[in-house]
């Protein structure tokens, strides 16, 4: 008879071999379900908790990591041979995912919400259900109420508030010939937060509050420990802690306690803002022409919700109002802030493109006056710079959908490496891809935005591609698409055009030579690769972006 330790070892080996066999069978079943469509094979599902932890380990085949996907851009599709590739994993459960970079297929996915609904991301229902996390039918209800809040009058208010804050920044800079910053985000992040606070929630913040610590007298009298600005910034910077750490465990670490305090403070501020708007009732503001109006998004959102209730329909609950206000605040200012920062960095890396933009702005404003909202539609190159930045650095790199039933998608063949956007005969081929029910589908904005089928020389910074009307609207996913497209698109565009126009009109944007070494003979692309390193949070963001602003003569 074998000794007990040997029996135990044998049992362990037998169990291990059984487990490997079981995982192998599950993997083969997953491949058969998609007709062995080419793609990435991994052990762990990258969307799982353990996958999130394992994705940064440099072990091939362990998990398909987000950083590697960003670095590879369109390459996984070239490796697949098609503008789609599969991802299969077996732990913690068998999982099949399709990533898509085909504009026509993406348009079908976005429009056919019955077959390709968006999963409900309840984790982001931080204060209540909202447009971003709700299922299709609930989101439709939220959107119906929220859409009118983003009006043309509100867009004008966005421009005015952006101009006000930029003027305050310039006043702080004074008559200095050069102003150097450690990161462009130090400017764009508070700028975007201040704009959305004023134009979306009727709560103007002065630029000086960006550096003032503590609470104001009014905030302290309401029982606040953190000022509004500090509370929002602190929560946004610690949002993953609040989302992923159980409430009962937040008190275990200093960062957890900080996140919990910021969450509670923001909740109180949101509740106060909603109560304040309700207390105003029908009181309206007066515009410069003596007309009465309410322009901020929150006032319009509450009014639209109350109108639904008055007509016998379902209004948004208090928690739903709060949930939507927070999502507008969080998603709205983060995405715009980061895209603006990338845009400033790109203009510094490509001085000839900055000169083109400056010349264009001067042609729109030949009399030397400052731009206003009425100039928005003629500042086409400024918008083109913003679009090209959003193409190269999409804030949301992928959008999740899933197949509600067995279905198929028609997919183009991918452009082979080295074709540089030139049409290749094989790229006109198509294949029909079988998508099993419950398969996750990732609309890959990075792959789409770097797809040579739609963008010639896709790695180059070329705002000119957006200066004509013949670019493919379905190939730009900066603001999502279909029924779940971004309600705040015009809000973001208006803010970006106003900010970039006013900054470029007054200052030349350069690299901060004290913090960023200049390498002789380096191409703009090489400089860009060193300067614009990308971090991964809920959105794509610049890691560090040191710039200098030199006052124009």
Q: Verify that 406 and 446 share a domain, yes or no.
A: yes
Please identify, among 430, 446, 475, the residue that sits at the C-terminal boundary of a domain.
475
Is the model's pLDDT at 148 over the cut of 90?
A: no
| Closest to 301 (Cα-Cα) out of 70, 126, 131, 90 | 131
Q: Binning pLDDT at 50, 70 and 90, where does residue 26 land? A: confident
Position 29 in a domain: yes
Q: Binning pLDDT at 50, 70 and 90, where does residue 59 land? A: confident
Per residue in 6-21, pLDDT (tens digit) is 777 777 788 778 778 8
Q: Binning pLDDT at 50, 70 and 90, where does residue 169 land? A: very high
pLDDT score for 299: 85
Per residue in 288-300, pLDDT (tens digit) is 444 434 568 888 8
Q: Verify that 28 and 39 share a domain, yes or no.
A: no
Q: Are 141 and 129 in contact (CB under 8 A)?
A: no
| Closest to 216 (Cα-Cα) out of 230, 197, 202 | 230
Is the model's pLDDT at 181 over the cut of 90?
A: yes
Task: Work out the mean pLDDT of the chain and round it to a whole number.
Answer: 87
More confident residue, 443 or 127: 443
| Four-residue CA torsion sign, 156, 158, 159, 163 | positive
What string of H, E and C letters represents the secondary structure of 225-284? CCCHHHHHHHHHHCHHHHHHCCHHHHHHCHHHHHHHHHHHHHHHHHHHHHHHHHHHCCCC
Q: Are 231 and 268 in contact (CB under 8 A)?
A: no
Position 429 in a domain: yes
Is the model's pLDDT at 286 over the cut of 50?
A: no
Position 481 in a domain: no
pLDDT score for 503: 98
Is the model's pLDDT at 241 over the cut of 90?
A: no
Binding residues: 486
Per residue in 337-347, pLDDT (tens digit) is 999 999 999 99
Q: Point out the least confidently predicted range of 27-31, 68-72, 85-89, 462-466.
A: 68-72
| Closest to 159 (Cα-Cα) out of 386, 503, 494 | 494
Position 406 in a domain: yes
pLDDT score for 539: 81
Position 109 in a domain: yes
Ranked by mean pLDDT, which of 61-75, 372-386, 422-436 comes out on top? 372-386
Q: Verify that 7 and 77 share a domain, yes or no.
A: no
Residues in the chain: 553
Q: Verify that 125 and 56 share a domain, yes or no.
A: yes
Ranked by mean pLDDT, which of 142-156, 184-198, 497-511 comes out on top? 497-511
Position 195 in a domain: no
List the strands of the sheet with 95-100, edge to edge.
Answer: 39-41, 84-89, 95-100, 440-444, 398-402
Is the model's pLDDT at 552 over the cut of 90?
A: yes
Q: Verify that 51 and 20 share a domain, yes or no.
A: no
Q: Verify that 43 and 88 share a domain, yes or no.
A: yes
Pairing outcome for strands 534-536 and 507-511: unpaired
This prediction's pTM: 0.91
pLDDT score for 420: 53
pLDDT score for 155: 92
CA distance 48 to 66: 13
pLDDT score for 425: 61
Name residue 95's beta-bridge partners.
89
Q: Verify that 6 and 49 share a domain, yes or no.
A: no
What string of H, E and C letters represents the secondary structure of 137-189? HHHHHHHHHHHHHCCHHHHHHHHHHHHHHHHHHHHHHCCCCEEEECCCHHHHH
Position 489 in a domain: no
Q: Binning pLDDT at 50, 70 and 90, where does residue 213 land? A: low
Position 79 in a domain: yes
Per the rule left: phi > 0, alpha: psi between -120 and 50, beta: everything else, 20 is alpha
| Closest to 232 (Cα-Cα) out of 327, 351, 146 | 327
Q: Verify that 98 and 19 share a domain, yes or no.
A: no
Structural domains of the chain, count: 2
Rounded to an integer, the average pLDDT of 454-468 is 96
Q: Verify that 26 and 48 share a domain, yes or no.
A: no
| Closest to 506 (Cα-Cα) out of 293, 364, 377, 358 | 358
pLDDT score for 291: 42
Strand runs (DSSP E) across 280-376, as ranges? 285-286, 292-293
Give the H/E segment covering residue 430: strand 430-435
pLDDT score for 65: 65
Q: Verify that 85 and 14 share a domain, yes or no.
A: no
pLDDT score for 294: 58
Please identify, among 421, 454, 475, the residue that sits at the C-terminal boundary of a domain.
475
Please identify, among 475, 490, 506, the residue that sits at the C-terminal boundary of a domain.
475
Is the model's pLDDT at 216 over the cut of 70?
A: yes
Q: Verify that 8 and 58 share a domain, yes or no.
A: no
Q: Are 293 and 258 in contact (CB under 8 A)?
A: no
CA distance 489 to 493: 6
| Closest to 209 (Cα-Cα) out of 525, 359, 200, 218 | 218
Binding residues for heme: 486
Range of the domain at 42: 34-130+397-475
Q: Verify that 39 and 20 share a domain, yes or no.
A: no
CA distance 157 to 195: 9
């Amino acid at each position: 008879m074998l000794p007990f330790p040997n029996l135990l070892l044998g049992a362990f080996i037998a169990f291990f071999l059984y487990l490997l066999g079981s995982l192998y069978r599950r993997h083969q079943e997953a491949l058969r379900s998609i007709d062995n469509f080419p793609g990435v094979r991994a052990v762990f599902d990258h969307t799982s908790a353990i996958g999130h932890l394992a994705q940064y380990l440099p072990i091939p085949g362990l998990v398909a990591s987000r950083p590697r996907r960003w670095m590879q851009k369109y390459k996984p599709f070239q490796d697949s041979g098609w503008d789609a590739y599969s991802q299969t994993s077996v732990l913690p459960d068998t999982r099949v995912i399709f990533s898509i970079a085909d504009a026509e297929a993406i348009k079908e996915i976005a429009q056919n919400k019955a077959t390709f609904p968006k999963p409900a991301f309840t984790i982001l229902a931080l204060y209540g259900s909202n447009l971003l996390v709700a299922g299709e039918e609930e989101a439709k209800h939220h959107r119906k109420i929220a859409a009118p809040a983003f009006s043309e009058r509100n867009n004008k208010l966005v421009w005015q508030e952006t101009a006000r804050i930029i003027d305050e920044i310039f006043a702080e800079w004074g008559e200095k010939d050069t102003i150097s910053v450690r990161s462009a985000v130090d400017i764009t992040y508070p700028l975007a937060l201040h704009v959305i606070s004023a134009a979306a929630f009727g709560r103007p913040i002065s630029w000086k509050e960006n550096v003032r610590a503590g609470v104001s007298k009014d905030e302290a009298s309401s029982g606040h420990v953190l000022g509004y600005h500090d509370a929002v910034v602190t929560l946004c910077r610690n949002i993953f802690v609040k989302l992923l750490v159980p409430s009962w465990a937040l008190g275990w670490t200093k960062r957890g306690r900080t996140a919990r305090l910021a969450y509670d403070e923001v909740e109180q501020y949101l509740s106060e803002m909603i109560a304040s708007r309700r207390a105003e009732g029908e009181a309206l503001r007066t515009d410069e022409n003596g007309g009465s109006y309410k322009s901020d998004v929150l006032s319009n959102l509450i009014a639209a919700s109350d109108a639904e209730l008055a007509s016998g329909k379902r209004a948004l609950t208090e928690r739903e109002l709060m949930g939507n206000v927070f999502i507008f605040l969080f998603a709205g200012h983060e995405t715009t802030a980061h895209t603006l920062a990338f845009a400033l960095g790109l203009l510094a890396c490509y001085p000839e493109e900055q000169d083109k933009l400056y010349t264009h702005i001067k042609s729109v404003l030949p009399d030397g006056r400052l731009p206003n909202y009425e100039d928005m539609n003629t500042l086409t190159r400024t918008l083109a710079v913003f679009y090209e930045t959003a193409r190269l650095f999409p804030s949301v790199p992928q959008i999740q959908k899933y197949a509600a039933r067995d279905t198929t998608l028609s997919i183009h063949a991918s452009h082979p490496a080295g074709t540089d956007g030139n049409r290749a005969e094989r790229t006109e081929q198509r294949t029909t891809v079988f998508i099993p029910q419950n398969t996750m589908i990732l609309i890959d904005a990075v792959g789409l935005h770097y797809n040579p089928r739609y963008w010639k020389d896709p790695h180059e910074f070329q705002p000119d591609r957006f200066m004509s009307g013949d670019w493919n609207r379905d190939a730009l996913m900066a603001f999502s698409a279909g029924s779940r497209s971004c309600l705040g698109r015009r809000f973001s565009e208006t803010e970006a055009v106003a900010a970039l126009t006013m900054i470029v009109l007054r200052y030349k944007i350069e690299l901060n030579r004290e913090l960023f070494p200049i390498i002789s003979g380096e191409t703009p692309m090489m400089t860009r690769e060193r300067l614009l390193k990308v971090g991964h949070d809920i959105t794509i963001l610049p890691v560090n972006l040191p710039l200098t602003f030199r006052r124009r003569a």
